[in-house]
């Protein structure tokens, strides 16, 4: 079998950030890499699950919602994929930044009740906000404390 494109990348060289993965059939794929692969630091499952719900909700309700096809986690727990149609990288990046800010303002994880989620017991809002704060700081080149202050979050609470 042929290797899929994401398996052709040397994961030991990948760094955290927002990366263009490619365009196939008009669909732009972005790699939202929160963690350095194979470094032993992964997104905790509850936070990963909550980020998935939060970001999917924020992106599908944002200014570019008609262009969002999919947002979901990487099985390796180092980040997420965003698939869009009809957006340039710059526009998709802006949608991601706005979605993260919207997530940081959420008081609960959308779709986290038993009747809405197949694993409703495994959510972590505080952990998700901590990971999102770190990621936003990385994308902006700011400290986590600066991002937390801008978002009105308690730094000592971790989000």
Scan for tokens 């700081």, then name that residue: 137
Tens-digit pLDDT string for the chain (159 aa)? 987 777 777 788 888 999 988 899 999 999 999 999 999 999 999 999 999 999 999 999 999 999 999 999 999 999 999 999 999 999 999 999 999 999 999 999 999 999 999 999 999 999 999 999 999 999 988 565 655 665 555 444 443
The reported pTM is 0.87
What long-range pairs does 13-16 form, CB within 8 A, spacing at least 24? 16/79, 16/135, 16/138
Q: Please list the helix, strand and coil fractions of the chain in percent, rounded to the nearest 5, in that order.
A: 40, 20, 40
């Amino acid at each position: 079998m042929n290797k899929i494109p994401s398996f052709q990348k040397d994961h030991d060289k990948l760094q955290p950030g927002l990366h263009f993965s490619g365009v196939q059939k008009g669909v732009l794929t972005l790699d939202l890499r929160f963690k350095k692969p194979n470094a032993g630091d992964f997104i905790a499952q509850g936070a990963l699950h909550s980020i998935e719900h939060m970001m999917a909700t924020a992106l599908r309700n944002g200014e570019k919602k008609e262009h969002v096809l999919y947002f979901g986690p990487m099985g390796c727990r180092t980040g997420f994929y965003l698939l869009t149609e009809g957006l340039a990288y710059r526009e998709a990046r802006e949608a991601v930044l706005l979605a993260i800010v919207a997530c940081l303002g959420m008081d609960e994880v959308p779709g986290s009740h038993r009747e809405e989620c197949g694993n409703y017991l495994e959510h972590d809002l505080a952990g998700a906000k901590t990971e999102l704060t770190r990621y936003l700081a990385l994308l902006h080149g700011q400290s986590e404390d600066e991002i937390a202050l801008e978002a009105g979050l308690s730094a000592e609470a971790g989000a």
